[in-house]
Structure 1
C-alpha cells in the first residue's frame, strides 16, 4: 500500500508519524517550512507545553526523550505536593510590604530531577498523584525529530505546501508547491492523509470542513525569566495578586521560569513598562522583595475556542489545531492534539495492515471530537464564574448546578488537569463497544471507555512490565490472578484459567497479547480485562468467556474490514450535547 501522508511537521504531526512508524506503517510528512538548513531555529522559552502524565507517557513509549535524558523524565516522576503552600503576598496598594498570608497559593506541579525509573514513585505510593510535564515546545519538536531520524520508513519533505487534494476508493493524491509557487508541482500518493497543519489548516479548507467558534476568548501575557524562586521544581498559582488576575509560574530547565497572567478583555496593548511591573510585583509577592532576574523572552497570545464540524472526510482526517483550538482556564490544546495522534495511529495502522470498517475510521471523530467538545463546553461555562462576569451566585446556580464550587477551586482544577477541564475523557459513546454489555460483565475501578490504571503485569513468557508500558501495540487481555507473583511461572502458566484463556485469545479477530496481573482496582480474582491499544477499557468479564471475549475484540476493531460495524456515528449536524457550544460558536 501507499504510505500515510501527514501534512505538517509540528509536534502533533511528528508524534503521529512516530506512532505510525512504531506500527510499521510508512509515512510521508509534508511540511511548508524550508527545512532545518534554511529555516531560522525558533527557540522561544515563552512558548511551552503542559502535558498530562498520560500524554507524557505516550511520548516515552514512542522513544521520545530529551537530550538531557533524566531531567525530562524526572520532571514528571515526582508527585504533586499534597500540602498547600502558604506564601506571603503584597496586598493591593501595599507596594513592597508583605501582608499576613490571608490567601493560599497552590503549589500545583512538581518536577525536580529524580533517579528512579519513570513512574516508580507513583506506583510505590497509591495516593500520590503524578505531575504534569512542562517543557519548551521547541525541545519537544527537536526530540521528536531525533526519534524520527532512526525511522527508515518516515520521510519528511520540506518546502511542500499542499495546494490540491483528490480522493478515490484506494487512496489520496496530494499536489504540493514549493515556496514561490510556479510550475514546481509535486504529486504525492497516500493511502490516507491527516492534516496536522495548524489553526490555519490548508487541509481543512480543502476538505470544506467548517471551523466555528469564538475568537480571542481570553488574552494572556507571558514572560520567561531566569531567577531563584523559593520552590525549585514546583509550579505555583497565585490567585489574588496585587494587580488582579491570577499569575502562574512554571519551572523550566536551568533556573528558567515561565510566568503567565490574563489580560483585560479590552484588547489594549501591553507596554514593556506594564509587563515589567507585573513581573516585579509577582516576584516581590512570592519572595518578600523582588530578586534579581534575567528577562529572556516575552509574548502576548490570544486563546480561541473553535471546533471543526468534521474530522474525517473519506480517507482524509484532521488532528491538533487543524481540528480544534482551546486554552482557557488551563486547558491545553497541544496535549489534546497529541491525544488525537494516539487515538488515530492504531486505527490507521489496523486499516493499513488489515483493512478497516467504516465504524473504526469514524470512531476517531466520534471519540476525540466528543472529548474536546466537552472540554470546550466546560471552559465556556466556567469562564464567567472565574472571571466574575455576572456574579458568582448566578453562575453557580445556572451553569454548575448543585456544586458548591468556588472561584479558586475552578481555577485550580483547570491547571491541575482535573474534572471537566482536564481529567482524561471517557469514551462512553464510542462505536467501538459491543451493542449491549456482554454476558458476564462486571464492574471494576475503571469505567468502560476510560483509561486503565497502571498496574504491574506479567506476560506468559515471564517478562514483567507496567500495564501502560504495553500499550501502543496489540489488544491487551489481562487476567487478574492473585498469587501469580508468588509462584514460579511454570506452576501457573498452564494451570487454572490460563490454558482456556490463552486458547480464547489466540482465536480473537485481531492480534492480542495475554497478560497477568496480581490485582487491579475494584476487580475480583479471575476478572478478565479487555484493553484497547490506546489504553481504553473495552470490557471487564468474570472468568474466561470465549464468545464474549471475541465479541469485545470484534467491537474494538469496529467489526470486519469493509463493514459498517453496525454502530451509529454522530453526523455533521449538531448533536444535543453540542448545542451549547454551537450556539456560542455561531454568535
Structure 2
C-alpha cells in the first residue's frame, strides 16, 4: 500500500503523521517550509487536559516543562474579582504552550520514526485522484510527483488542498481582533490566568475594555487586548502604551521592569468548510475550520480532528476502506465544530453588544463574564469538546446497556487499569494503537496478582468474547470507574470515546457494538480491496 500524504507540517499535520505511524501506517509530510519553525513567543496555544495528554502520549515527553499548567483562573470587572477557579482533580488545568515549542516536540518525535518522511521545500500544486489512490505534485527544490493511498490537507486557512478540491469555505471575516504581546515580567498572579474587563485605567488609543494575561514558563506572559471593530492600525507606540498602562494598573501605579519579547495582531475568523472529504482527500485543522472568538481555541479542535481521523485511516489502510467509517470523520468532527461556531455567533451580540437594555439587566455582566470564561477554559457550549452520541458509529439501543458517569460518545475518564501482561498503566496510555479497548470493572483486582483472577469468575468468558470481536481489541481491567457498577464492561474506540457500557458479559451485544463502531460489516468490494492490498504488500 502507498503511504498517506499529509500536506502541511504544522501541529495538526505532524500530530496526524505521528498518530498514523503509531498504528504502522507510513506517511509523507509535504512541508513547504525549511523544516523548522521560527520562535514566536506571542503565538501560543491552550490545550485542554485530554488534548495535552494526547500530545504527551504521541511525543513520549512531558510537556509541562515546556508550558504552564495554570494554577487558577480569575475574572475581573473594573476593580472587582467576579469569579475564581482553582484547578485540581475536579477541574484539570489547561496547558498553555508556545506553538513553536509544541511543533518542535512533534518534530523531535518524528525524527526517529521510520515510517514518516518529511519533504521540506515542497509546495503542493496538483492533486489527481484515482480509484486506487492519490497522486500529488509539488514544486520547489525537490519538486516531484508523490503517490499515496490517501491525502490529508492540514495546510491552514489558505489551504491549497481545499482549493484544488473546489470546496467552499464560507463564514465571517475579522470577527475579533487582538493586539498581542509576549513579555517577561513579574505580575501579582503567579501561574494564574486573568481576564480583566473594563479595567479602570485609561487605555492608549480607542478603548477596547478587555485584556487577558496568560502565563508561560520562565516568567513570560502573553497579553491580549481586544481591539475595537475596524481596521485601525496598531502602531508600536500604541502597543507599548498599552503594555505600560496595563502593567502599571495591575501592580499599583508604577510600571514594573519588563522585557518585550514579541508582538503581533491576532485576527479571528469564523469559517467552516462545506465538505471535509472528497473521495480519498480529507481536510483537517484550519484547512477545515476557523474559530477562536470569545476565548475559544481552534488548534485544540484541529488536534482532535487528527486524533479522530488517524484510527479510521489506519483501519482503512490495513483492512480496506469501509466508506461508512471514513465518512464518519466529517459527520462527527464537522458537527462539533459547527455547534461551537453557532454558540459563539449567538453569544457575540450579548458579550460584545455594548450598551442598551441588556446592559441594564441585573446580573447580565456576570453572565457575560461566565460565557467568556467557558470559552477560555474549554467548557460549556462555547468551549466543551462535544460528544459523538449522534454518530453513525454509535450502536443502537442494546439490551444489556449499563449506566456510567460517561455518556456514550464522550471521551472516557482516565483511570488506572491492569494490562494483559499484568502491569498497571493509565487507560489513556493504551489509546491510539488502532485497537478497540474492552475494560472490565472488577473491584479488588488491584490488590491481587493477575494470575489469581485472570482465570476466575467471568474473565474467561469475557476474554473469549473479546477474542471473537470483528476488530482487534485489548482487554483491560479496572478496579473502579466513575458511575459504573461492578462487572460493567466498557467498550472504547481507539481514540478513547465510549461506544457503550454493558452489564456483565454479553457477547452478542459486545460484537454488535464493536462492528458498528468500526464502520459496520465489510462489503464484498471492501473485502476485495483488502485482499488486493494484502497481496500487494507481501
Q: Please report the TM-score for the alignment, with normalisation by the length of structure 2.
A: 0.91
Closer/same/farther in 2, CA of residues 47 and 106 from structure 1, 3 Å limit? farther
My pick for the range that moved more, 553-562 or 221-230, is: 553-562
Superimposed CA distance per residue, residues 70-94 of structure 1 (whole angstroms, 9 cap, x where no aligned partner): 5137x33x7646xx68x8x9x6xxx
2: CA distance between counterparts of 1:133 and 1:388? Answer: 30
DSSP-derived class of the 1:187 partner: strand
1: CA distance between counterparts of 2:98 and 2:518? Answer: 36
Contact 2:176–2:229 (8 Å) recurs in 1: yes
DSSP-derived class of the 2:402 partner: coil
Q: How does 1:471-510 map to 2 (within 5 A)?
A: 471-473=431-433, 474-510=435-471
Closer/same/farther in 2, CA of residues 451 and 70 from structure 1, 3 Å limit? closer
Contact 2:71–2:192 (8 Å) recurs in 1: no
DSSP-derived class of the 1:339 partner: helix
Q: How does 1:51-90 map to 2 (within 5 A)?
A: 51-65=47-61, 71-72=65-66, 75-76=68-69, 80=72
User: What is the root-mean-square deviation in Å for CA atoms of aligned residues?
Assistant: 2.4
Q: How does 1:359-508 map to 2 (within 5 A)?
A: 359-389=324-354, 391=356, 393=358, 406-434=367-395, 436-473=396-433, 474-508=435-469
Cα drift, residue 20 of structure 1: 0.6
DSSP-derived class of the 1:406 partner: helix
Contact 1:219–1:303 (8 Å) recurs in 2: yes
Which residue of 2 is the match for residue 582 of structure 1? none
DSSP-derived class of the 2:59 partner: coil
2: CA distance between counterparts of 1:470 and 1:371? Answer: 25
Tell me, which stretches of 5 or more residues in structure 1 are unaligned?
92-100, 111-121, 397-402, 566-587
Which residue of 2 is the match for residue 168 of structure 1? 130
Cα drift, residue 491 of structure 1: 2.1
Which residue of 2 is the match for residue 21 of structure 1? 21
Cα drift, residue 48 of structure 1: 0.8
Q: How does 1:538-549 map to 2 (within 5 A)?
A: 538-549=499-510
2: CA distance between counterparts of 1:218 and 1:564? Answer: 49
DSSP-derived class of the 1:317 partner: strand
Cα drift, residue 272 of structure 1: 2.2
Q: Does residue 535 of the first structure (1) align with residue 496 of the second (2)?
A: yes
Which residue of 2 is the match for residue 324 of structure 1? 289
Cα drift, residue 258 of structure 1: 0.5
Which residue of 1 is the match for residue 270 of structure 2? 305
Which residue of 1 is the match for residue 532 of structure 2? none
2: CA distance between counterparts of 1:531 and 1:556? Answer: 9
Contact 1:105–1:238 (8 Å) recurs in 2: no
Closer/same/farther in 2, CA of residues 404 and 483 from structure 1, 3 Å limit? farther
Contact 1:212–1:306 (8 Å) recurs in 2: yes
Cα drift, residue 395 of structure 1: 12
Cα drift, residue 7 of structure 1: 0.4
Which residue of 2 is the match for residue 254 of structure 1? 218
Contact 1:354–1:561 (8 Å) recurs in 2: no
Cα drift, residue 564 of structure 1: 10
DSSP-derived class of the 1:370 partner: helix
2: CA distance between counterparts of 1:405 and 1:287? Answer: 24
Closer/same/farther in 2, CA of residues 392 and 293 from structure 1, 3 Å limit? farther
Closer/same/farther in 2, CA of residues 220 and 307 from structure 1, 3 Å limit? same
Which among 142, 151, 167 is matched to residue 193 of structure 1?
Answer: 151
Cα drift, residue 34 of structure 1: 3.8
Which residue of 2 is the match for residue 233 of structure 1? 191
Which residue of 2 is the match for residue 288 of structure 1? 252
1: CA distance between counterparts of 2:341 and 2:179? Answer: 21
Cα drift, residue 428 of structure 1: 1.6
Closer/same/farther in 2, CA of residues 356 and 488 from structure 1, 3 Å limit? same
Cα drift, residue 278 of structure 1: 1.7
Contact 1:248–1:259 (8 Å) recurs in 2: yes
Closer/same/farther in 2, CA of residues 563 and 240 from structure 1, 3 Å limit? farther
1: CA distance between counterparts of 2:342 and 2:355? Answer: 18
Closer/same/farther in 2, CA of residues 545 and 222 from structure 1, 3 Å limit? same
Which among 214, 226, 229 is matched to residue 265 of structure 1?
Answer: 229
Contact 1:358–1:564 (8 Å) recurs in 2: no
1: CA distance between counterparts of 2:123 and 2:360? Answer: 46
2: CA distance between counterparts of 1:280 and 1:392? Answer: 34
Cα drift, residue 488 of structure 1: 2.8
Cα drift, residue 285 of structure 1: 2.3
2: CA distance between counterparts of 1:80 and 1:405? Answer: 19
Contact 1:109–1:235 (8 Å) recurs in 2: no
Contact 2:82–2:366 (8 Å) recurs in 1: no
Closer/same/farther in 2, CA of residues 6 and 318 from structure 1, 3 Å limit? same
Closer/same/farther in 2, CA of residues 108 and 280 from structure 1, 3 Å limit? farther
Which among 33, 40, 46 is matched to residue 44 of structure 1?
Answer: 40
Which residue of 1 is the match for residue 111 of structure 2? 149
Cα drift, residue 563 of structure 1: 7.3
Closer/same/farther in 2, CA of residues 79 and 508 from structure 1, 3 Å limit? farther
Q: Please report the TM-score for the alignment, with normalisation by the length of structure 1.
A: 0.84
Closer/same/farther in 2, CA of residues 53 and 372 from structure 1, 3 Å limit? same
1: CA distance between counterparts of 2:291 and 2:300? Answer: 10
Closer/same/farther in 2, CA of residues 343 and 163 from structure 1, 3 Å limit? same
Pick the structure with more strand per residue.
2
